[in-house]
Structure 1
Amino acid sequence: MLIDLLRHGEPEGGRRYRGCGVDDPLTDQGWAQMRAVLNGAKPPWTQIVTSPMRRCRDFAEAFAREHGLPCTVQESLREVGFGAWEGRSPEELKAESLADYLAFYRDPARARPDGAEPLEAFVGRVADALESIRQHHEGKHILVVAHSGVIRAAVVHAMQVPAVALYRLRMPYAALTRLRVDERGLSVEFLNRRTL
């Protein structure tokens, strides 16, 4: 079984922490980025599964309609909750408290923004979502349209590394990551491809 994870393209509102509390749609550029990575190839997928957030769902549903693919929304694929950082830019946060900003990246499990979703709970939520996809689509090739945090959590889970490694992975807009599920379990086949 193959699970391709596609990060959404550029959303409206500029660079900021969106998490699951800010639901910006894609910009025209964001739509173009996502179309470019799939570059008109005949889709190899049998099913699309998407986050409920507009920056993922709008594209996933449109792409599914265009190619006659079934598309389901999976609530557990929403982005991590950033609490007090939702909607704020890195520049704002650094200006307000550089120490808190840097502490988060040094220890994202214990130095979370106020009200943020706990890191271990988030990775567990994504692991459960992957298991649900595996159970419902055994042996198929699935496209998951999701967020950088969700894709990072999926990779961390597949590699069985500590959740704190999550923010060591860069996830550019509209890049593809592939997971393989076979008799050996879950493995990472590739990260951040810009073409299918």
Structure 2
Amino acid sequence: MTTTVIDLIRHGEPVGGQMFRGSKDDPLSITGWQQMVAAINMDDRWDVIVSSPMARCRRFAEQLAEQREIPLHVDDDLREIGFGEWEGLTAEQVQQRYGDHLNRFWQDSINFTPPGGEAVTDFYQRVILGFDRWQDRLAGQRILVICHGGVIRMVLANVLGIALDKSFTGFAVPYACRSRLQVDQSEFGVFRSLISHQP
């Protein structure tokens, strides 16, 4: 039996606050750094860190990897979903400019993609491909993944069998939220379970 423990932590608040950020590469605000520091415990033990390439994830990951003297891997597949023309806009601004588009996205994100954005099905496939690759490559280790709310939603939807059309609205993933997964691999197959989810 090989057991892998994977902690997923969403980045803290970025500069500019709440908005559809996607590929907009804002760094963490001072509050965001404080949120991330508070999310990490002295008794946390990881063998390796995997991070999204976005500044709001990567800069904290780099500092933590240096402090803990553990390897850091950066994976482009773990970046946030692209929101296209919505990026940089608040929910209110999207509603003002695009009418009922936001409601349509929340109600049917599978079939409605923001103008110029990334389809949720493509996003899901990209994230799971990247996540599974690290799960296999780092099997038996304790892994910290620093990433995004959308990425965590895709991973948890995959592990828990949540329908993709419910994945964006099915559970809360606030800034610096932590989720722990355990992966047990044996001759009987692979068993993945959610151990904790702490918004």
Question: Per the shorter chain, which TM-score range?
Answer: over 0.9
In the alignment of these two chains, the number of paired residues is 191
Secondary structure, counterpart of 2:117 in structure 1: coil
Cα displacement (A) at 1:23: 0.2
CA apart distance, 1:126: 1.2
Q: Distance in 2 between matches of 1:146 and 1:15?
A: 16
Residues 30-71 of structure 1 deviation map (CA, whole Å, 9 limit, x = unaligned): 0010000114x1331100000000000000000110111111
Letter matched to residue 186 of structure 1 = R
Is 2:149 the counterpart of 1:148? yes
| 1:118-157 matches, cutoff 5 A | 118-157=119-158
CA distance in 1, matches of 2:183, 2:49: 17
Q: TM-score when scaled to structure 2?
A: 0.92
Q: Deviations over 1:140-173 (max 9, x none)?
A: 1100000000000000011122211111121110
Deviations 1:167-195 (A, max 9, x none): 112111011011111134222111125xx
- Structure 1 residue 68 and structure 2 residue 74: aligned? no
Q: How does the TM-score come out when normalised to structure 1?
A: 0.93
> How far 1:89 sits from its partner (Å)?
0.9
Q: CA deviation at 1:99?
A: 1.4
Two-structure CA RMSD over aligned residues (Å) = 1.2
8 Å Cα contact 1:43/1:67 also seen in 2? no
Matched residues, percent identical? Answer: 38
SS at match of 1:167: coil
Separation of aligned partners in 1, 2:127 and 2:143:
15
Q: What is the CA-CA distance between 1:116 and the residue it aligns to?
A: 1.3
1:9 aligns with 2:25: no
Q: Is the 8 A contact 1:172 1:192 kept in 2?
A: no
The whole-number CA distance in structure 2 between the counterparts of 1:153 and 1:44 is: 25
Q: Structure 2 stretches of 5 or more lacking a match?
A: none
Give the partner amino acid of 1:180: Q
Would you say the 8 A contact 2:78–2:131 is kept in 1? Answer: no
The residue correspondences of 1:158-173 to structure 2 (distance < 5 A) are 158-168=159-169, 169-173=171-175
Give distance in 2, aligned partners of 1:42 and 1:69: 15
Q: Distance in 2 between matches of 1:134 and 1:99?
A: 39
* Alpha-carbon displacement from aligned partner over 1:56-95 (angstroms, at most 9, x marks no partner): 0000000110111111101100001111111111110122
User: Is the Cα–Cα contact under 8 Å of residues 10 and 176 in structure 2 kept in the other structure?
Assistant: yes
The residue correspondences of 1:1-196 to structure 2 (distance < 5 A) are 1-20=4-23, 22-39=24-41, 41-168=42-169, 169-183=171-185, 184-193=190-199
Is there any run of 5+ residues in structure 1 with no aligned partner, and where? none
Paired with 2:191 and 2:93, the residues of 1 have a C-alpha distance of: 42
For residues 102-145 of structure 1, the C-alpha deviation after alignment (integer angstroms, 9 at most, x for no partner) is 11100011121012111111111111112111121111110000
Q: Residue 4 of structure 1 contacts residue 179 of structure 1 at CA under 8 Å; is this kept in 2? A: yes
